[in-house]
Chains A and B, each alone.
Chain A
Amino acid sequence: EIVLTQSPTTMAASPGEKVTLTCLASSSVNYIYWYQQKSSASPKLLIYYTSSLASGVPDRFSGSGSGTSYSLTISSMEAEDAAIYYCLQLTSTPYTFGAGTKLELK
Protein backbone atom coordinates (compact mmCIF):
# COMPACT_ATOMS: atom_id res chain seq x y z
CA GLU A 1 0.00 0.00 0.00
CA ILE A 2 1.30 3.44 -0.91
CA VAL A 3 1.29 5.78 2.05
CA LEU A 4 0.88 9.50 1.41
CA THR A 5 2.32 11.84 4.04
CA GLN A 6 1.06 15.41 3.98
CA SER A 7 2.76 18.33 5.63
CA PRO A 8 2.21 20.45 7.49
CA THR A 9 -0.68 18.97 9.41
CA THR A 10 -2.04 22.41 10.16
CA MET A 11 -1.02 25.88 9.12
CA ALA A 12 -2.34 29.42 9.07
CA ALA A 13 -1.79 31.95 6.32
CA SER A 14 -2.55 35.65 5.98
CA PRO A 15 -4.52 37.05 3.05
CA GLY A 16 -2.19 37.48 0.10
CA GLU A 17 0.39 35.05 1.46
CA LYS A 18 1.82 32.28 -0.70
CA VAL A 19 1.01 28.79 0.61
CA THR A 20 2.72 25.52 -0.26
CA LEU A 21 1.39 22.15 0.87
CA THR A 22 3.40 18.97 0.45
CA CYS A 23 2.47 15.36 -0.23
CA LEU A 24 5.16 12.67 -0.07
CA ALA A 25 4.50 9.15 -1.35
CA SER A 26 6.12 6.03 0.10
CA SER A 27 6.62 4.74 -3.46
CA SER A 28 6.70 6.48 -6.80
CA VAL A 29 3.28 7.36 -8.20
CA ASN A 30 2.27 8.43 -11.69
CA TYR A 31 0.14 11.37 -10.63
CA ILE A 32 -1.26 13.05 -7.55
CA TYR A 33 -4.74 14.52 -7.23
CA TRP A 34 -5.68 17.31 -4.83
CA TYR A 35 -9.05 17.85 -3.16
CA GLN A 36 -10.38 20.67 -1.01
CA GLN A 37 -12.92 19.98 1.74
CA LYS A 38 -14.69 22.77 3.60
CA SER A 39 -16.60 22.24 6.86
CA SER A 40 -18.83 19.21 6.39
CA ALA A 41 -19.07 19.51 2.60
CA SER A 42 -17.93 16.81 0.21
CA PRO A 43 -14.41 16.99 -1.24
CA LYS A 44 -13.96 19.13 -4.34
CA LEU A 45 -11.44 18.30 -7.06
CA LEU A 46 -8.80 21.01 -7.42
CA ILE A 47 -5.93 19.44 -9.36
CA TYR A 48 -5.76 16.30 -11.49
CA TYR A 49 -2.82 14.63 -13.20
CA THR A 50 -0.50 16.45 -10.74
CA SER A 51 -0.74 19.87 -12.35
CA SER A 52 -3.98 20.25 -14.31
CA LEU A 53 -6.50 22.69 -12.88
CA ALA A 54 -10.04 21.36 -12.53
CA SER A 55 -12.86 23.28 -14.12
CA GLY A 56 -13.88 26.39 -12.21
CA VAL A 57 -10.90 26.33 -9.85
CA PRO A 58 -9.17 29.72 -9.49
CA ASP A 59 -5.79 29.94 -11.15
CA ARG A 60 -4.11 30.90 -7.88
CA PHE A 61 -4.06 27.14 -7.28
CA SER A 62 -1.32 25.09 -8.93
CA GLY A 63 0.20 21.66 -8.54
CA SER A 64 3.60 20.21 -9.27
CA GLY A 65 5.86 17.30 -8.55
CA SER A 66 6.92 13.89 -9.73
CA GLY A 67 7.93 10.50 -8.40
CA THR A 68 7.39 10.62 -4.66
CA SER A 69 7.25 14.37 -3.99
CA TYR A 70 4.32 16.61 -4.85
CA SER A 71 3.04 20.01 -3.84
CA LEU A 72 -0.02 22.21 -4.03
CA THR A 73 0.57 25.94 -4.11
CA ILE A 74 -1.82 28.80 -3.52
CA SER A 75 -0.16 31.89 -4.95
CA SER A 76 -2.11 34.35 -2.84
CA MET A 77 -4.19 33.16 0.10
CA GLU A 78 -7.82 34.22 0.21
CA ALA A 79 -10.33 33.77 3.04
CA GLU A 80 -12.32 31.25 1.03
CA ASP A 81 -9.28 28.99 0.78
CA ALA A 82 -9.50 28.03 4.45
CA ALA A 83 -10.20 24.29 4.28
CA ILE A 84 -8.66 20.85 4.57
CA TYR A 85 -6.63 19.72 1.58
CA TYR A 86 -6.15 16.04 0.71
CA CYS A 87 -3.85 14.40 -1.80
CA LEU A 88 -4.81 11.13 -3.48
CA GLN A 89 -2.91 8.50 -5.44
CA LEU A 90 -4.58 6.28 -8.02
CA THR A 91 -1.43 4.54 -9.27
CA SER A 92 -2.07 1.31 -7.41
CA THR A 93 -4.81 -0.19 -5.31
CA PRO A 94 -5.70 0.34 -2.62
CA TYR A 95 -6.08 3.96 -3.66
CA THR A 96 -4.93 6.06 -0.73
CA PHE A 97 -5.44 9.58 0.56
CA GLY A 98 -3.08 11.63 2.64
CA ALA A 99 -4.25 12.53 6.14
CA GLY A 100 -4.88 16.09 5.06
CA THR A 101 -3.54 19.56 5.74
CA LYS A 102 -5.80 21.98 7.57
CA LEU A 103 -5.27 25.49 6.24
CA GLU A 104 -6.60 28.32 8.36
CA LEU A 105 -6.84 32.04 7.78
CA LYS A 106 -4.54 34.10 9.98
Chain B
Amino acid sequence: GEEVAQTPKHLVRGEGQKAKLYCAPIKGHSYVFWYQQVLKNEFKFLISFQNENVFDETGMPKERFSAKCLPNSPCSLEIQATKLEDSAVYFCASSQSPYGYTFGSGTRLTVV
Protein backbone atom coordinates (compact mmCIF):
# COMPACT_ATOMS: atom_id res chain seq x y z
CA GLY B 1 0.00 0.00 0.00
CA GLU B 2 0.94 3.66 -0.19
CA GLU B 3 0.79 4.34 3.50
CA VAL B 4 2.72 3.26 6.53
CA ALA B 5 0.27 1.29 8.62
CA GLN B 6 0.73 1.31 12.37
CA THR B 7 -1.29 -0.78 14.77
CA PRO B 8 -2.82 -0.46 17.21
CA LYS B 9 -3.71 3.24 17.23
CA HIS B 10 -4.06 3.24 21.00
CA LEU B 11 -2.58 0.91 23.60
CA VAL B 12 -3.05 1.02 27.35
CA ARG B 13 -0.82 -1.04 29.61
CA GLY B 14 -0.36 -1.30 33.34
CA GLU B 15 3.11 -0.71 34.68
CA GLY B 16 5.19 -3.83 34.26
CA GLN B 17 3.15 -5.20 31.38
CA LYS B 18 4.51 -5.80 27.90
CA ALA B 19 3.61 -3.59 24.96
CA LYS B 20 4.03 -4.54 21.33
CA LEU B 21 3.58 -2.12 18.47
CA TYR B 22 3.46 -2.95 14.77
CA CYS B 23 4.41 -1.13 11.61
CA ALA B 24 3.86 -2.20 8.02
CA PRO B 25 6.08 -0.07 5.78
CA ILE B 26 5.15 0.98 2.29
CA LYS B 27 5.76 -1.84 -0.16
CA GLY B 28 9.16 -1.46 -1.74
CA HIS B 29 10.57 0.70 1.04
CA SER B 30 13.66 -0.93 2.45
CA TYR B 31 14.24 1.41 5.41
CA VAL B 32 12.11 1.53 8.53
CA PHE B 33 12.51 3.98 11.39
CA TRP B 34 10.97 4.19 14.85
CA TYR B 35 10.58 7.44 16.75
CA GLN B 36 9.18 8.21 20.19
CA GLN B 37 7.29 11.45 20.72
CA VAL B 38 6.67 12.38 24.31
CA LEU B 39 4.33 15.09 25.55
CA LYS B 40 6.88 17.86 25.23
CA ASN B 41 6.76 17.21 21.49
CA GLU B 42 10.33 16.15 20.92
CA PHE B 43 10.87 13.30 18.51
CA LYS B 44 13.45 10.87 19.76
CA PHE B 45 15.01 8.53 17.25
CA LEU B 46 14.97 4.95 18.49
CA ILE B 47 16.10 2.55 15.79
CA SER B 48 16.24 2.03 12.06
CA PHE B 49 16.31 -1.02 9.83
CA GLN B 50 17.49 -1.69 6.34
CA ASN B 51 15.32 -4.60 5.33
CA GLU B 52 15.58 -7.01 8.25
CA ASN B 53 18.93 -5.72 9.45
CA VAL B 54 19.41 -3.15 12.17
CA PHE B 55 20.84 -0.03 10.51
CA ASP B 56 21.20 2.26 13.50
CA GLU B 57 20.15 1.50 17.05
CA THR B 58 21.88 4.33 18.86
CA GLY B 59 18.61 5.68 20.21
CA MET B 60 17.28 2.48 21.67
CA PRO B 61 17.20 2.24 25.45
CA LYS B 62 19.55 -0.53 26.52
CA GLU B 63 16.95 -2.28 28.57
CA ARG B 64 13.36 -3.31 27.95
CA PHE B 65 13.13 -2.10 24.33
CA SER B 66 13.58 -4.37 21.33
CA ALA B 67 12.59 -4.22 17.69
CA LYS B 68 12.46 -6.52 14.70
CA CYS B 69 11.75 -6.36 11.00
CA LEU B 70 11.31 -9.88 9.69
CA PRO B 71 10.59 -10.80 6.07
CA ASN B 72 6.91 -10.95 5.14
CA SER B 73 5.84 -9.61 8.54
CA PRO B 74 5.12 -6.17 9.95
CA CYS B 75 8.00 -4.63 11.85
CA SER B 76 7.53 -4.58 15.60
CA LEU B 77 8.66 -2.56 18.58
CA GLU B 78 8.35 -4.31 21.92
CA ILE B 79 8.66 -2.84 25.37
CA GLN B 80 9.07 -5.27 28.22
CA ALA B 81 7.94 -4.26 31.70
CA THR B 82 6.58 -0.88 30.71
CA LYS B 83 7.13 2.15 32.90
CA LEU B 84 5.12 5.34 33.22
CA GLU B 85 7.75 7.27 31.30
CA ASP B 86 7.26 5.02 28.28
CA SER B 87 3.92 6.75 27.69
CA ALA B 88 4.30 8.46 24.34
CA VAL B 89 3.26 8.30 20.72
CA TYR B 90 5.46 5.95 18.76
CA PHE B 91 5.84 6.79 15.10
CA CYS B 92 7.13 4.52 12.40
CA ALA B 93 8.42 5.82 9.09
CA SER B 94 9.62 4.10 5.97
CA SER B 95 11.69 5.27 3.07
CA GLN B 96 13.18 4.17 -0.16
CA SER B 97 16.80 5.15 -0.15
CA PRO B 98 18.20 7.75 -0.34
CA TYR B 99 15.51 10.01 1.10
CA GLY B 100 11.81 10.67 1.42
CA TYR B 101 10.36 9.49 4.69
CA THR B 102 6.69 8.65 5.00
CA PHE B 103 5.38 8.56 8.53
CA GLY B 104 2.62 6.41 9.90
CA SER B 105 -0.15 7.83 12.04
CA GLY B 106 1.44 6.61 15.24
CA THR B 107 0.54 4.40 18.18
CA ARG B 108 -0.36 6.18 21.40
CA LEU B 109 0.92 4.13 24.33
CA THR B 110 -0.42 4.99 27.76
CA VAL B 111 1.11 3.27 30.73
CA VAL B 112 -1.00 3.49 33.86
Instruction: State whether these chains interact.
Output: no
Which A residues fall within an 8 A CB radius of B? none
